[in-house]
Amino acid sequence: MTTLEENSDPVNDPTTDYNIFDPEFVRDPYPTMTEIRESGCPIAHSNRWGGSWFPTRYEDVVAIAQEHEIFTSRDIIVVPRAAAQAEGPYAGVAAPPITSDPPDHHWHRRLILPIFAPQSVAKYEQGTRDLCNKLIDGFIAKGEADAGTDYAQQIPVRVIATMLGVPTEMADEFTGWVRGVLEVGLTDPKVRLESRLKILNFFRQQLDDRRANPREDDLITDLLNSGDKYPVTDQYVLGVCNLMLVAGIDTTWSAIGSSLWHMAQHPEHRKQLRDNPELWPTAIEELLRAYSPVTMARIVDRDTEFQGCPMKAGDRILMSFPAANRDPRQFDRPDDVILDREHNRHVAFGSGIHRCAGSNLARLELRVALQVWMERIPEFSLVDPATVIWAGGQVHGPRVCRVRF
């Protein structure tokens, strides 16, 4: 039950039969989330896509994220993996720290945290600004652009490539591989495996190349050299590189895209930010809350009852941070974007031990991408709301979003 055709029949009752790849849900998931959250059964279950639970209340999502011994990160993809993947040549390569459980999770995470501290990511600000300006130079004269493909999609991939020390000219290939794993691949196991192999083969060569021709000052080199402190293996380094690409690109690209999609439709918000630039930090958090791009998964370790739901060992739970972030029990007027929202303990970056390690970088990219756009293109609108194309499943955001200015 893991292909699009097998799962395409219409949904009657989302509390027992939701379909996260239903085109309507992909486009606008929030009404369904509200329906489930306000039903008698706020933790829905569906047999589609190999079966999963879908908690929709903030409190429940956070509680599951905190209980990492019962709700493990053995598999964090929202649909079961293709059996073929486990047999592939890189079967043992995971994506630490996101797929690690304690005790290894601790050092897996500790090793990469320093590169994402606020003071470390600050050095990418100017480069990101220059990149955004250059992208806009490329289309501003045309009076029209695809804010998804021509802009949002182009930014995070180049920032990550720079950090890793791999060629930024390969941006389109990296993007294709990541989409192959996180978007197309979720409903097409063959594409998923192929894309994964491309990523891991590429990094395998990068590792070998650094051994043959030592370099300085890039993340892959730093990871390879940290063996004195931790039991670092090639498998671990490959896993981290894999994660950087997969976690750092689609996510931030979606956040930038959704924010521009929102701004294109809200002249009053564009004006509010122009008149009150001190609102930027809260505005960024609010956009992250309202359009949280990322849904993760957990695997239940042992039979357990959670909020009256009989969960069995091996069951999959969708960690819907987007649904949690629209819970009216936690946020006033959750479906409104309020750029100066005072209380905003959102979970777009997750919660607990796996909370996003790259959040400072993501915030920086999102802020710079939006600020540069709004400086250069203060007034813009959607060409046609009906032609916006969304991606969903693991990561939600607009892929094609034409705007006019």
Partner 1 sequence: MCSIAAPEIFGSDELGHATVLIEGDVPVELQAKARRAQANCPEDAIIIEE
Give 3-state DSSP helix, strand, coil % of the chain, rounded to 5.
55, 10, 35
- Least CB distance to partner 1 at residue 351 (A): 7
Sequence-distant contacts of 180-186: CB under 8 A, at least 24 apart: 181/246, 182/246, 182/250, 182/393, 182/394, 182/395, 183/250, 183/391, 183/393, 183/394, 183/395, 186/21, 186/77, 186/78, 186/79, 186/393, 186/394
Work out what residue 248 binds among partner 1, ligand HEM, none; the CB cut-off runs from 5 to 8 Å by kind.
ligand HEM
Q: How far apart are the first and last CA of the chain?
A: 45
Q: What is the dihedral of CA 186, 22, 171, 262, to 10 degrees?
A: -150
Question: Read out DSSP for 361-380?
Answer: HHHHHHHHHHHHHHHH--S-
Contact status: 229 vs partner 1 (CB under 8 A): no
Site string for partner 1, 68-107 (x = CB under 8 A): ----------------------------------------
Q: Which of 4, 84, 86, 117 binds partner 1 (CB under 8 A)?
A: 117
**Residue 122 CB neighbour total at 10 angstroms:** 12
- Least CB distance to partner 1 at residue 81 (A): 29
CA 63/CA 336 separation, integer angstroms: 25
Work out what residue 119 binds among partner 1, ligand HEM, none; the CB cut-off runs from 5 to 8 Å by kind.
partner 1
- Least CB distance to ligand HEM at residue 367 (A): 11
Contact status: 277 vs partner 1 (CB under 8 A): no
58 to 77, contacts with ligand HEM by CB under 6 A? 65, 73, 76
- Least CB distance to partner 1 at residue 363 (A): 8
**Stretch near partner 1 under the rule CB under 8 A, chosen from 33-41, 180-188, 199-207, 358-366:** 358-366
Work out what residue 361 binds among partner 1, ligand HEM, none; the CB cut-off runs from 5 to 8 Å by kind.
ligand HEM
What Å distances lie between residue 383 and 258, 315, 345, 401, 404, CA to CA?
15, 43, 34, 8, 6
CA-wise closest residue to 283 among 271, 295, 301, 296: 271
What is the 8-class DSSP label of residue 43?
E
Work out what residue 113 binds among ligand HEM, partner 1, none; the CB cut-off runs from 5 to 8 Å by kind.
partner 1
Q: Which of 68, 74, 81, 109 binds ligand HEM (CB under 6 A)?
A: 109
Residue that the structure tokens 């990871």 belong to: 223
Q: Which of 251, 258, 325, 394 binds ligand HEM (CB under 6 A)?
A: 251
Kind of pairing between the strands at 381-382 and 144-146: unpaired
141 to 160, contacts with ligand HEM by CB under 6 A? 160
Question: Where on the chain is the footprint of partner 1 (CB under 8 A)?
Answer: 110, 113-114, 116-120, 281, 285, 342-347, 349, 351, 355, 359-360, 363
Question: Where on the chain is the footprint of ligand HEM (CB under 6 A)?
Answer: 65, 73, 76, 97-98, 109, 160, 243-244, 247-248, 251-252, 255, 293-294, 296, 319, 321, 348-350, 354, 356-358, 361-362
